[in-house]
Amino acid sequence: MKILALDTSTEYLSLALALDGQFYGRELLAGQTHSQRILPLLRELLDEADIELMDLDGIAFGAGPGSFTGLRIGCGVAQGLAFGANLPVVGVSTLLALAEDAGDAQQVIACLDARMGEVYHAAYRRQAGGWQEVLAPGLYAPESVPIVPQQDGLAADWVGIGSGWKTYADSLQQQYAAHVQQILPDAYPRAAAIAKLALPRFAAGEARPAAEAAPVYIRNKVAMTTSERQKGQAA
């Protein structure tokens, strides 16, 4: 199976081609320039692999959570490319992509810096068929993240991964001091991990038409309206 995967949910831009077990990739710190740089970088990647979009079987993208602007860019590019090449799409959780990139870890607490004093958070446990969602993706203040449930027979050997562990290291380590044995604070959602997670979903027929591609925001609002601020001041 041949798929393109992309992620623009953070300040990094990540692209990957999974071509029948062979992987090609491009990654860079894009900052706020994802929209300008993604298509030229994709062209480089396709040229390196000597393949065109219409030769692929589908497109996977980091659906979120993450930067609102970044998610819109990633979803929009995936959707536009899929429309143009008549390909199906699969959206993959950015937090699950972090877990997939945590090496041999069996239990992972994924946290992305959500700004505004909050983190996007989820917990996963590796099983024979993939990942079990232990705590669903949610938005929390770092000092209020939920404690991970322990499972009989498994030591408290959780791995913390993602930018949330860098920005809010003290709060998160205080919450998980008895459970987390390793921290990978510099990790970010990577397209190669998204491709690995998406491949079995494509194979299982779970891909959707391009028109159904949609980001997962979790945080529904980033600012109050003028009337909401006025009501708050009057309360």
**197 and 146 fall within a common domain:** no
Please tell me the predicted confidence (pLDDT) of residue 156.
73
The alpha helices in the chain, defined as continuous H runs, are 34-49, 68-85, 94-100, 164-167, 169-175, 191-203, 226-234
Q: Is residue 153 part of a domain?
A: yes
Mean pLDDT (whole number) for 140-163: 86
Please tell me the predicted confidence (pLDDT) of residue 64.
97
CA–CA separation, 63 and 218 (whole Å): 11
**66 and 108 fall within a common domain:** no
Q: Give per-residue pLDDT as tens, 167-192.
A: 999 999 999 988 899 999 999 999 99
Give the model's confidence band at 219: pLDDT under 50 very low, under 70 low, under 90 confident, else very high: confident
Please tell me the predicted confidence (pLDDT) of residue 235.
32
Please, are residues 71 and 9 in contact by the beta-carbon 8 Å criterion? yes
Please tell me the predicted confidence (pLDDT) of residue 229.
33
Q: Quick count: other Cβ atoms within 10 Å of Cβ 112?
A: 30
Give the model's confidence band at 52: pLDDT under 50 very low, under 70 low, under 90 confident, else very high: very high
Mean pLDDT (whole number) for 138-165: 88
Please tell me the predicted confidence (pLDDT) of residue 150.
78
Please tell me the predicted confidence (pLDDT) of residue 178.
82
The mean pLDDT of the chain is 91
Q: Give per-residue pLDDT as tens, 186-216.
A: 999 999 999 999 999 999 999 999 999 999 9
Please, are residues 153 and 130 in contact by the beta-carbon 8 Å criterion? no
Q: Is residue 166 part of a domain?
A: yes
Please, are residues 169 and 185 in contact by the beta-carbon 8 Å criterion? yes
Q: Is residue 217 part of a domain?
A: no
CA–CA separation, 130 and 15 (whole Å): 22
**61 and 115 fall within a common domain:** no
Among 145, 151, 144, 146, smallest CA distance to 125 is for 151
Give the model's confidence band at 220: pLDDT under 50 very low, under 70 low, under 90 confident, else very high: low
**67 and 122 fall within a common domain:** no
What residues make up the domain containing 30? Answer: 2-94+189-212
Structural domain count of the chain: 2
User: With 70 as the cut, is the pLDDT of residue 59 above it?
Assistant: yes
Q: What is the reported pTM?
A: 0.91
Please tell me the predicted confidence (pLDDT) of residue 226.
35
Please tell me the predicted confidence (pLDDT) of residue 128.
87
User: With 60 as the cut, is the pLDDT of residue 227 above it?
Assistant: no
Specify the CATH number for the domain of residue 7. 3.30.420.40
Q: Is residue 225 part of a domain?
A: no
CA–CA separation, 181 and 146 (whole Å): 17
Q: Is residue 219 part of a domain?
A: no
Give the model's confidence band at 102: pLDDT under 50 very low, under 70 low, under 90 confident, else very high: very high
Q: Give per-residue pLDDT as tens, 66-76.
A: 999 999 999 99
Please tell me the predicted confidence (pLDDT) of residue 154.
60
Radius of gyration of the chain from Cα atoms? 18
Q: Is residue 234 part of a domain?
A: no
Give the H or E element holding residue 139.
Answer: strand 130-140
Please tell me the predicted confidence (pLDDT) of residue 70.
97
Q: Is residue 235 part of a domain?
A: no
